[in-house]
Amino acid sequence: MTQSNVGRLRVMAAGVRGAYVVERVLPAPFDEVWAVMRDLEGGFGEFQPDMRSVRVLRVDGDRVEALARSRYGFRARFHGVLRPGWCWLQSRFLVVGMAAEAADDGRTRVALTGGVRVPGRPRLVPFGARRELETAMARLAELVTYESP
């Protein structure tokens, strides 16, 4: 039995102290939702509250390296995996996790996690992370939700 992307994200987040996961079912098809989420240089920065820019430096299969700049001027060099419905990126100080999967009714289940890591310790600093994840999810929903004519 294979684990769902959202289930895998829950497991990964459970292994990081202080991690919080936000889940939601969005009323849009998987392909539309994932197109925004996987676009690290475009759509990702539109829904992530802290990201000013992301530049993909290298892609090797599903491995990705990217340089991110926050709205507060901080920089992070991420290394991780990006494949359909799954993204896990880590830098020295940050973790970003995203998962998406098609629901049976044409909608998409999405999960987000992430935050600031304490160097040398397997934990995230909880301050503000939950609020930022909730804001990111709301922005993503706005980007992909549309009304039928």
Query: Is 73 domain-assigned?
Result: no
pLDDT of residue 39: 96
| Number of folded domains that form the chain | 1
**Residue 88 or 19, more confident:** 88
Model pTM score: 0.88
- The DSSP-derived string for 68-98 is EEETTS-EEEEEEEEETTEEEEE-SSEEEEE
The CATH code of the domain that includes 114 is 3.30.530.20
Query: Is 65 domain-assigned?
Result: no
Could you tell me the residue range of the domain that residue 123 belongs to? Answer: 5-47+84-144
CB distance 22 to 115 below 8 Å: no
Convert the pLDDT of each residue in 54-92 to its tens digit. 999 999 999 999 999 988 788 899 999 999 999 999 988
